[in-house]
Structure 1
Amino acid sequence: MSQTAKDLTAGTVGGIAQVLVGQPFDIVKVRMQTSAKGTYRGMLDCAGGILRNEGPLAFYKGTLSPLLGIGACVSIQFGVLEYTKRYFSAYNSRVGQDASQGAQLSSPQLVIAGALAGLGNGFVSGPVEHIRIRLQIQSNTNAVYRGPFDAINKIASKYGVRGIYKGQGVTFLREAMGYGAYFLAYEKLVQREMALYGIRRDQISPGSAILYGAAAGYALWAVIYPIDVVKSRIQTDGFSPSDGQKYRSALHCVRTVWRTEGIGAFTRGLVPTLIRSPFANGATFLGFEMASRLLSSI
């Protein structure tokens, strides 16, 4: 296998782990982000309502879409990230540093690598999350879509590709900013442990991969959470004024939500996100690192 193929495969493993661990928390986050003020008293009230009214399987509603899509998304993320890291390492060596120094990328280089990974991922994550969110906000009594493929078919037949990619601009903004911070945090922690103990990357313990992934997840959400709220609002909004569209653009969404619901609306659903983050992101990096080590022998 080529190194790029190995990176893509390991990224897929990490993405699947992320979805399976994080999906129940994500549906609570989305319900809270997109609900009117006062609908839920908090995370437990929201989760309890889903459990009572829709049953335990509702926490995995819309999972097929992210299981296929997020696996691809994380695969792209790590594929682009690792390729860009190799490019910068080679560049560092060419400008006079030795190989060991070249492997230690600077913070700006890591941010750029992470941002490019996020942008590459955004082409897939935008429509995947749009479809997932449409399915997550449905209750059993008002279901418009029978599943992800039915949702894609209905949206595409009426609104075309533009409908599938609804909210794509704010998605790209979120991905570039978020993954720049995400991979910077993780890679700096990995660099620190390697330097501190004089070990290779493949000698870092699984526990450290989980811990550093959890820290990276918090760095991600610290940067992007308000942007994520805007993305969720736009992706659950109507497609046109005749469909009840409330927001003409991302900026109009920000102004409207601020004026009608206050600044607190931009942090609604943050608690389940912060609870979910260390588990989902720890699982992501553990899956990637363990799969990478296994594939390195091929």
Structure 2
Amino acid sequence: MVGIKPTDLPPTAAVKFFGAGTAACFADLVTFPLDTAKVRLQIQGESGTAPGSAVLKYRGVFGTITTMVRTEGARSLYNGLVAGLQRQMSFASVRIGLYDSMKQFYTRGSENASIVTRLLAGCTTGAMAVAFAQPTDVVKVRFQAQVRHTDGGKRYNGTMDAYRTIARDEGVRGLWKGCMPNITRNAIVNCAELVTYDIIKDLILKYDLMTDNLPCHFTAAFGAGFCTTIVASPVDVVKTRFMNSSAGQYGSALNCALMMLTKEGPAAFYKGFMPSFLRLGSWNIVMFVSYEQIKRCMTRMQHSWESPF
């Protein structure tokens, strides 16, 4: 990212790659209940025939969390955590960790990247990450969406069982279900998230509003989370619905979006907006603050190993 002083040691690509995955896993641990609540709110009503025809089980962010704890236990808030951490370690390492390298690739080594170059780098790493880590995202969403039945039965008995069951029942392609809407979503998310963070942080440092430290990272991350939620929420809802759907329920992601529009109205595309914002805002803050500190710590450690005296 921007803001490295001349006296600072620039982090290597390997440090950024590993640091991004580690920071994203830490952010997921902190914010996962909000993400689960978001998924439950987004899929609510997908079996209804008309707007308002179905009884709403979940109401609001904290109402959803309270209902889940009361009916399914507190552990239900962390359904799919293993797949979520697998996803972040592979997914965030690519889309965030390789962002600076991709910027330099497009600018041919120059540090002066235009907004277009940053957007292009964000789209590229976002698409690469989805192509690589899509199965982990499908399993995570399935776990978060599953509700424990009255007889104690569950859709999947574990993370590996979910991978095997999806591959057996839906084919290997089932693990890449929703890949195209997810690529679209993450191209948007990466552009809104990384580019917004990059630009806000750059402007803060350029006009000496803050130093390159915790308050600066916090402010830039919060702004990035808000912009990302506004832009990406409609695609995120379609992605969640399509990835959680049974075989043959929707013909395509576009068909899913059209059915949502006709049956539930335009507001359906912003279902779960508040948990999305709470989650993305808090996730961005935890992730970017952790990422900046991990990069600095790992760079210092690497330098001390290479020059012990």
TM-score (norm 1): 0.88
Q: Answer 1 or 2: which has greater helix percent.
A: 1
RMSD (CA atoms): 2.0
Aligned residues: 280
Check conservation: 1:114, 1:180, Cα contact below 8 A: yes
**Alpha-carbon deviation of 1:85?**
2.3
Pairing of 1:198-213 with structure 2 (within 5 A) = 204-213=212-221
* Alignment partners' CA distance in 1, 2:204 and 2:108: 22
Report the equivalent of 2:120. Answer: 112
Check conservation: 2:96, 2:194, Cα contact below 8 A: no
Pairing of 1:150-229 with structure 2 (within 5 A) = 150-197=161-208, 204-229=212-237
65-74 or 226-235: bigger deviation: 65-74
Check conservation: 1:15, 1:73, Cα contact below 8 A: no
Q: Does residue 289 of structure 1 match 2:292?
A: yes
Report the equivalent of 1:133. Answer: 141
Out of 262, 265, 272, the position equivalent to 2:265 is 262
119-128 or 284-293: bigger deviation: 119-128
* Alignment partners' CA distance in 1, 2:59 and 2:294: 41
Deviations 1:252-271 (Å, cap 9, x if unpaired)?
Answer: 11111111111111111111
Q: Does residue 78 of structure 1 match 2:101?
A: no
**Alpha-carbon deviation of 1:89?**
4.9
Pairing of 1:54-65 with structure 2 (within 5 A) = 54-65=72-83
Out of 145, 149, 158, the position equivalent to 2:156 is 145
Deviations 1:171-214 (Å, cap 9, x if unpaired)?
Answer: 11111122112111111112112212299xxx611222122112
* Alignment partners' CA distance in 1, 2:59 and 2:230: 23
For 1:5, give the aligned amino acid.
A
Check conservation: 2:138, 2:243, Cα contact below 8 A: yes
Out of 19, 28, 32, the position equivalent to 2:41 is 32
Check conservation: 2:226, 2:277, Cα contact below 8 A: yes
**Alpha-carbon deviation of 1:88?**
4.3
Unaligned runs of 5+ in 1: 93-102, 240-244
Check conservation: 1:80, 1:116, Cα contact below 8 A: no
Report the equivalent of 1:230. Answer: 238
SS at the partner of 1:197? coil
* Alignment partners' CA distance in 2, 1:279 and 1:250: 28
For 1:248, give the aligned amino acid.
G
Out of 5, 13, 23, the position equivalent to 2:14 is 5
Unaligned runs of 5+ in 2: 1-10, 46-53, 303-309
For 1:276, give the aligned amino acid.
R
**Alpha-carbon deviation of 1:125?**
4.2
SS at the partner of 2:155? coil
Report the equivalent of 2:249. Answer: 246
Check conservation: 2:260, 2:268, Cα contact below 8 A: yes
